[in-house]
Copies of this chain bind each other. A is one copy, B any other.
Amino acid sequence: MTINIPDTDQARVVIIGAGFGGLMLARKLASSNFQVVLIDKNNFHQFQPLFYQVAMAGLEPSSIAFPLRKVFHHRKNIFVRVTALEAVDTEKREITTPLGTLAYDYLVLAYGVETNYYGNKNLEEKTIPMKSVAEALYLRNAILNDYELAITTADYDMRQGLIDIVIVGGGPTGVEVAGALAEMRKYILPKDYPELDCDEIDIYLIQSGDRLLKGMSETSATAAEQFLKELGVQVILNKRVDDFDGEFVLMSDGSRIQANKVIWAAGIKGKRISGLPEDVVVWGNRLKVDRHNRVEGQERVFALGDIAYMEEEAYPQGHPQVAQVAIQQAKNLAKNLRNELKGKAWQPFSYKDLGSMATIGRNRAVVDLPKRHFHGFFAWIIWLIVHLFALIGIKNRLFVFINWVWNYFTYDQSLRLIIRPRIKRHPEGYKVKEQ
């Protein structure tokens, strides 16, 4: 059975993944003479940098998630299909999905990466990842629920287990979650839970390396650590988390930390796709591509974003796995594909590092620009503006802005709702299942 996309004269570009890279590529091909099929397991694009705000109850999911069909209203050459890639047949130039097979002229793999638990089943089952809106919501519910339980828990140790949180991974995700949690503890919880002694709450951030934010400058890393400590986060460097049994985190040096909730932001890796030769796969399951994002040894298969591994002079070990790389690669690939139709030459990709940033709490951030570093309140303003404008859609920008302004002036995070999903078996086999 084939997915019912009409056959036309246009060459068909099939894009797997509507993250930063896939979405940008589709948008840049929207008015081209290609037929574009955009495939994602969700019917929306998720703005990853702000997941932690959904988790910390500062933002609604809909402020950072964009229905794909809305993005491509009126685009007659763009088709959206909500499904997943199962296998590729590079001979037949065909992909297989649960909805059926689909032939392609060009296949672009932009499905990103998922959480890496390093093969540890306990970590996979018992920790909370942060790579989707659904996971951010789950975390929100877990945190609030445990506070509700804690206020009626007389036993000291049990209570610590409910209120203490461990975050593993000192990259931007871990740093931002830790900062937001520390603020929640300082400004919100005393008002919501006057019966709880919020000084009892311990927040740990554990990093395996010798500093936080390995992808940023040392200046920024030091400033971030300082800000976190001022917020009362216990930053633990040079230690790995070996295991978690639901009650205690076991560290590489044998020490233990008691906490029921462990947020795992300590590693990413790609999914293995059936049908691609083994030798194009490198560490983290990334796919080797040339300077045109073409998968090594392939003619019509490309990869971009986190899942792609491209070497260039300035990046001999591949690009950092960040949004800007995906977005820039997508723009370059779109231009090249359009050039193909005009018989023009392809241009190699070269990454322009526009800078990186991470926020710590409500008015601090660290920002690395190509020539300068900022940290503190001014950096936070820059961060705010950049992310606000990066969001697609006027309405979403307005909502996020209003939410932020409100929170800022009232220290308020109104979205403190525990909405438990309703699990019901739907007829015709539609089941609510794990994502």
Residues of chain A whose beta carbon lies under 8 Å from any beta carbon of chain B:
3-4, 42-44, 60-62, 65, 67, 69-70, 73-74, 76, 79, 81-82, 99-100, 125-126, 128, 132-135, 137-138, 141-142, 144-146, 148-149, 151-152, 154, 161-162, 191-195, 245-247, 260-261, 393, 395-396, 398-399, 402, 406, 412, 414-428, 430, 432-435
Contacts and interface: CB of A to CB of B under 8 A. Distances in A.
B138 A417 contact: no
Contact of A191 (B74, B154, B418): B74
Contacts of A261: 426
A421 B152 contact: no
B154 A4 contact: yes
A134 B422 contact: yes
B423 A423 contact: yes
Contacts of A425: 125
Contact of A406 (B79, B195, B395, B421): B395
A434 B416 contact: no
A300 B234 CA distance: 50
Nearest to A146: B430
Contact of A81 (B152, B247, B424, B434): B152
A151 B3 CA distance: 9
B100 A426 contact: no
B43 A144 contact: yes
Contact of A421 (B67, B69, B134): B134
A177 B192 CA distance: 35
Contact of A60 (B62, B154, B191): B62
A418 B247 CA distance: 33
A418 B46 CA distance: 12
A245 B427 CA distance: 8
A149 B414 CA distance: 35
Contacts of A245: 427
Nearest to A59: B62
B416 A67 contact: yes
Contacts of A146: 430
B61 A424 contact: no
A58 to B, nearest CB: 11
A192 B80 CA distance: 10
A432 B418 contact: no
B70 A414 contact: yes
